[in-house]
Amino acid sequence: MKIFTNAQIHELDKYTIEHEPIKSIDLMERAAKALTHSIMEQWSNQTPVVVFAGPGNNGGDALAVARLLFAENYQVKVVLFNISNQLSEDCATNKQRLLDMKQFKDFTEVTATFEPPDLTAETLVVDGLFGSGLNKPLAGGFASLIKYINQSPSKVVSIDVPSGLMSEDNSFNVRANIIHADLTLTLHQKKLSFLFGDMQPFLGELKVLDIRLSQEYINKTEAQFSILEESDIRSRLLHRGDFAHKGQMGNALIIAGSYGMAGASVLATKACLRSGVGKATVHTPKKNYDIMQISVPEAVMQMDHEETTFSEAVDTEDFDALGIGPGLGLSENTAIAMISQIRRAQCPVVADADALNMLASHRAWMQQLPRNIIMTPHPLEFDRLSGSPANGDYERLQQARDMAQSLHAYILLKGHYSALCMPNGHVCFNPTGNSGMATAGSGDVLTGIITALLARGYKQEDACAVGMYIHGLAGDFAEKEVGKESLIASDIINYLPEAFKRLND
């Protein structure tokens, strides 16, 4: 699913109006009906409604919703803000349509100061002040109004975007001047800012309403951002032939685990084997031998010369993919061995966890990384890599995009919507997974999955996309069984078979 920028959404509306064809006021009515239906699903007509409408098309949507709710016997109060005495054409039309309803009396048009209405716990506020076109923080009277609404006990439904929130970059927005919605009814698609963790407090429950915008425009227009869908993943899968043997299914090398962190190597190796690889070899310190041999008998052991750490790069000529980093520790000898291993690797590489932390402490090494390397940082690891902590999730994503392009790397920035930043500048977000996966070892499992897929013959982009989707899907299956609070990383591995079966059926 493509995620369009605000400018592209504006063009999509315009294209729909010109090519359906449909009048803009009729497209607004279509949206208002969808919005009204969603409101009526959650609140009965015993709920008093206060509608705050701005002077633009978001306000026009709100006025149309007010009219439709009133027609369904809701008690509706409308406050239209027209400070500059300049309403958009469709907003003005919907104002007149509302006033033409003879029975409707509770309408206030604000051109200067006003006395805000009482907002009680029983009141539903419909926020139609500002939509996706906002491009600067709110200030003055509108900022005061938003603070008043946020401090009230009323439930708030925002139309398209909570007022004050920008649809893309909120790095320098004023958080106190953004509506805290209980329900956001957004039109056509999620906005880019909706995919960031730091924006979730403003959204509440989120519903996407289909208002049948032009599919022709959607199909032909390139988007820099997208959300993976199950059909995207199914089309990328490499299927196992009936006559396949293990020599054709890939040979993966996992370099993981210092002494005391053998669990990281166990999780990464088990996940690798559960993801269809023909053979997995784990390189780990000597003191991890018994733990690994007992925990993962299917794996081939390759022991480091050192008792407790990874100390020396090994030959990768016989391997189809390398996963390196989980639980390695941060000793200087290990750091030197790690960069030497990555530089001399003769196969695709996945770098995670301590491999990334060691790169962050030796940032000059970043220029020595091979093209098309896959890195899988969580936000804190990425901030260390970039050397400049981001001012919010949007800025971090932009830094990851820039780094992926400059290094010609695949950077999988982990989060609720994990973002795969590719060398060509494109970003795809993963919709699977849940907060129960915020647990130690979850990233080690992802490393094992992606390494297995690379060894199987997947291209880097496909290995990342399929890997993060299946990782999240297995986590979703596990959450249904054990719940979010009790989910641990090995549960994700246990449900990998269910995830692969779902996608292969």
Q: Which two tokens stand for residue 430?
A: 């993963």
Report the C-alpha gap between 187 and 344 in whole angstroms: 50
- Say whether pLDDT at 408 is over 90: yes
Question: CB neighbours (10 Å) of residue 482?
Answer: 15
- Say whether pLDDT at 113 is over 90: no
pTM for the predicted model, two decimal places: 0.96
Q: Is pLDDT larger for residue 112 or for residue 205?
A: 205
* 81 Rama class: left (phi>0) / alpha (psi -120 to 50) / beta: beta
Whether residue 467 contacts residue 450, with contact meaning beta carbons closer than 8 Å, is answered with yes
Report the C-alpha gap between 298 and 295 in whole angstroms: 9
Report the C-alpha gap between 454 and 351 in whole angstroms: 13
Q: Which residues pair with 302 in a beta bridge?
A: 283
* 347 Rama class: left (phi>0) / alpha (psi -120 to 50) / beta: beta
Pairing of strands 427-429, 419-421: antiparallel
Name every residue whose Cβ is closer than 8 Å to that of residue 412 and which is 6 or more positions away in sequence: 374, 375, 376, 377, 418, 419, 420, 421, 446, 450, 464, 468
Query: Would you give the DSSP letter of residue 397?
Result: H
Q: How much is the average pLDDT of 42-68?
A: 98
pLDDT digits (tens, 9 = 90+) for 435-492: 999 999 999 999 999 999 999 999 999 999 999 999 999 999 999 999 999 999 999 9
Question: CB neighbours (10 Å) of residue 147?
Answer: 14
Query: Closest Cα to residue 276, out of 315, 249, 248, 247?
Result: 249
Q: How much is the average pLDDT of 227-237?
A: 98
326: phi then psi, degrees, rounded to nearest 5: -55, 120
Q: How much is the average pLDDT of 165-182?
A: 97
Q: How much is the average pLDDT of 178-194?
A: 98
Quick one: pLDDT band at residue 163, thresholds 50, 70, 90? very high
The 3-state secondary structure of 246-270, one letter per residue: HHHCCEEEEECCCCCCHHHHHHHHH
Scored b (16 or more CB within 10 A) or e, 191-220 reads bbbbbbebbeebbbeeeebebebbeebbee
Q: How much is the average pLDDT of 385-405?
A: 96
State the pLDDT at residue 321: 98
pLDDT digits (tens, 9 = 90+) for 317-374: 999 999 999 999 999 999 999 999 999 999 999 999 999 999 999 999 999 999 999 9
Task: For each of the domains in the chain, give its residue range(s) and CATH number, in order of start.
Answer: 2-223 (3.40.50.10260), 230-504 (3.40.1190.20)
**What 3-state DSSP class applies to 271?**
helix
Report the C-alpha gap between 21 and 214 in whole angstroms: 10
Report, in angstroms and rounded to the nearest whole number, the Rg of the chain calculated over CA atoms.
27
Q: How much is the average pLDDT of 54-64?
A: 98
Quick one: pLDDT band at residue 79, thresholds 50, 70, 90? very high
